[in-house]
Amino acid sequence: MLQAINPIRLADNSGRPPETILVNVTPQETRVALLEENKVCELHIDRNSGHGLVGNIYLGVVKRVLPGMQSAFIDIGLERAAFLHIVDVLEQRQKPEETQRIEHMLFEGQTILVQVIKDPINSKGARLSTQISLAGRFLVYLPQDNHIGISQRIEDEEERNELRTRLKALLPENAGGYIIRTSAENARDEELQADIGYLAKLWQDILARSKTSPAETMLYEDLPLSLRVLRDMFNSNTQKIFVDSANNYRLMQEFAQQYVQGAVERIQHYQGEKPLFELYHVEQEINQSLKPRVDLNFGGYLIIESTEAMTTIDVNTGGFVGARNFDETIFKTNLDACHAIARELRLRNLGGMIIVDFIDMVSEEHRQAVLGEMAKALRFDRTRVTLNGFTSLGLVELTRKRSRENLNHILCESCPTCQGRGYLKTAQTVCYEIQREIVRESRRFDAREFRILAAPAVIDLFLDEESQSLALLIDFIGKPVSLMVESSYTQEQFDIVLL
């Protein structure tokens, strides 16, 4: 039985390290790398062939209502129907204390305004919400609500109250709800007012389009990645933003002058001979992040493995023997692992449930110190993370909000040879499969001869170690068996030809 787990409050994000943002643009894709102290900590990729959908607003059609799951499938014009759960329906969100029924709110064929809150991942369709939110530089607009919220990252209660009072004074009557973003901490009233005006006009444009557009139409698309960098990632710790495209440099300058004036002088057009990502070793980091093994500073290492259900991270001492005794070696390895894990979560964009198997520690003091270090390492993550204590099995569980595909899913596909299993049947296993298949075929067909077409490793085994078993097979079926190498075959592929 697992012990009760209480979420650990993550440390505040004061003392954030200096940041550099790199924007690499090609006709096919835009890539953004965030560097903290010259280490790549985040990577965002937006490809022309498959833009991220989070934030997009559609006029959808209810395809199917599932009362048993309290959910519905909505057609929004994508390959797969999108998914809407009762918890993401506006009426339920506004009255969470009341139990609502989705079949009382939606019916098949109904036209409905929805927003994507999670991109399609693997075989799952996009996840939707009927509560619309529009992000600005300092504010998030909730046009169907009247609540004013404040980012949890602004922790000072006096500052929170002051920001709420300032915003209320700027809002007209029945203006809707707003969430004050962290970037609003130092915003002037004129900047907040400009955000309010921009977001209100944007909402009116969306409403007007919804009245004249056919179903399954996209009514609003979020900003391109190069501009979202300025809206969502730029902050007072951002030292430089390098962009290697003249056209995007101009667009970013124009956007910054209108909405993010503090960023104007920090945006620079990179024109060096060496590619931008190569100069900062980002390409090398991308390739490394696709491997399961991550080496730590003092000889230890992590093994990171993701499945659809969860991600597991195993911490190992490896060759680290630098501490005074074994307990200290384990403790130092676990402390070192905390910062590497926090960075890999951001770099690989790992979400959902994450289980960390730290090396077993006898000392309760060491265990609490590792948890504290983990909380400290996670405090700069822009994505919501919940960290829990050790279970009775000595595992640490944390959850990280998943809104887009992880790096591996964007850049890779399942191996066609092993079908994504990560391993192959041995040549010997395939040899035995072939022999069983020949016995079956010999009973069904009166062939003159059987010919085996297989990969070189399999044919070599038949000619060497399995030559005796092949001779016994020929004796048993009373028919000759010939061998032919097919170099294009994978190790598991084979054909049996009846002659």
Read off the pLDDT of residues 241-289 as tens digits, 9 standing for 90 and up: 999 999 999 999 999 988 887 889 999 999 999 999 999 999 999 999 9
Confidence of residue 11 (pLDDT cuts 50, 70, 90): very low
**Are 349 and 465 in a shared domain?**
no
- pLDDT confidence tier of residue 26, bands split at 50, 70 and 90: very high
Does residue 435 fall inside a structural domain? Answer: yes
Residue 187: pLDDT band by 50, 70, 90 thresholds?
Answer: confident
CATH number at residue 436: 3.40.1260.20
One domain, residues 299 and 191: no
The verdict on residue 419 lying in a domain is no
State the pLDDT at residue 217. 92
Q: Which amino acid makes up residue 485?
A: V
Q: What's the whole-number average pLDDT of the chain?
A: 88
Residues 329, 274, single domain; the answer is no
In DSSP terms, 399 is beta-bridged to 353, 386
Select from 400, 408, 406 the least CA-distant residue to 382: 400
Q: What is the pLDDT of residues 465-497, one digit of tens each?
A: 999 999 999 999 999 999 999 999 999 999 999
pLDDT at 318: 77
Domain final residue pick, 218, 236, 260: 218
Q: What is the pTM of this model?
A: 0.78
**Longest pairwise C-alpha distance within the chain:** 95
Judge if 378 and 268 occupy the same domain.
no
Q: Is residue 130 part of a domain?
A: yes
Q: Which of 63-67, 117-121, 344-348, 472-476 has the lowest mean pLDDT?
A: 117-121
SS3 at position 233: helix
Of 173, 203, 218, the position where a domain reaches its end is 218
154 and 30, same domain (yes or no): no
Percentage of the chain modeled with pLDDT above 90: 58
Pair (396, 311) in one structural domain? yes
373's tokens: 């270090």
Per-residue pLDDT for 33 more than 60? yes
Q: Are residues 165 and 97 in the same domain?
A: yes
Going by pLDDT thresholds of 50, 70 and 90, the confidence category of residue 236 is confident
Whether 310 has a pLDDT exceeding 70, the answer reads: yes
Establish if 242 belongs to a structural domain: yes
Name the band, by pLDDT with cuts 50, 70 and 90, for residue 319.
Answer: low
| pLDDT score at 120 | 86
Q: Domain check: are 83 and 187 in the same one?
A: yes
Instruction: Check residue 147 and give its pLDDT.
Output: 87
Overall average pLDDT of the 133-153 stretch: 89
For the domain that residue 207 is a member of, what is the CATH number? Answer: 2.40.50.140
Query: Distance between CA 492 and CA 494 in Å, rounded?
Result: 7
Query: In this predicted structure, which of 47-51, 215-219, 375-379, 445-449 has the lowest mean pLDDT?
Result: 47-51
Give the residue among 12, 13, 52, 14 at the shortest CA–CA distance from 30: 52
Overall average pLDDT of the 127-147 stretch: 91
Overall number of domains in the chain: 4
Residue 5 falls inside a structural domain = no
Asked if 465 and 390 sit in the same domain, the reply is no
Q: Which two tokens stand for residue 478?
A: 């009373």
The reported pLDDT for the residue numbered 297 is: 85
In a domain, 263, yes or no: yes
Q: Which of 309, 381, 313, 311 lies closest to 350, judged by CA?
A: 311
Q: Which residue has the higher pLDDT, 391 or 270?
A: 270
Query: Is residue 411 assigned to a domain?
Result: no
Indicate the pLDDT class of residue 61, thresholds 50, 70 and 90: very high
Whether 360 and 481 share a structural domain: no
Q: Please choose, from the candidates 200, 180, 265, 186, the residue with its C-alpha nearest in 3D space to the C-alpha of residue 230.
A: 265
Instruction: With CA atoms as reference, report the closest residue to 145 among 93, 196, 185.
Output: 93
Is residue 417 assigned to a domain? no
* Structural domain containing residue 263: 17-46+224-280
Residue 475 has a CB neighbour count (10 Å cut-off) of 8
Give the tens place of pLDDT for each residue, 346-360: 999 998 999 999 999
Looking at 218, 244, 265, which one is the last position of a domain?
218
pLDDT value at 15 more than 70: no
CATH code, domain with 27: 3.30.420.60
**Is the same domain home to 209 and 67?**
yes
d(CA 251, CA 225): 12
Assess whether pLDDT exceeds 50 at residue 3: no
Question: What are the structure tokens assigned to 110, written together?
Answer: 């109904």
Whether the predicted pLDDT of 2 surpasses 70: no
Q: Which residue type does 14 have? A: S
pLDDT for 323 beyond 80: no
Are residue 450 and residue 380 in the same domain, yes or no? no
The position carrying tokens 């191996």 is 415
Kindly report the three-state secondary structure assignment for every residue of 341-371: HHHHHHHHCCCEEEEEECCCCCCHHHHHHHH
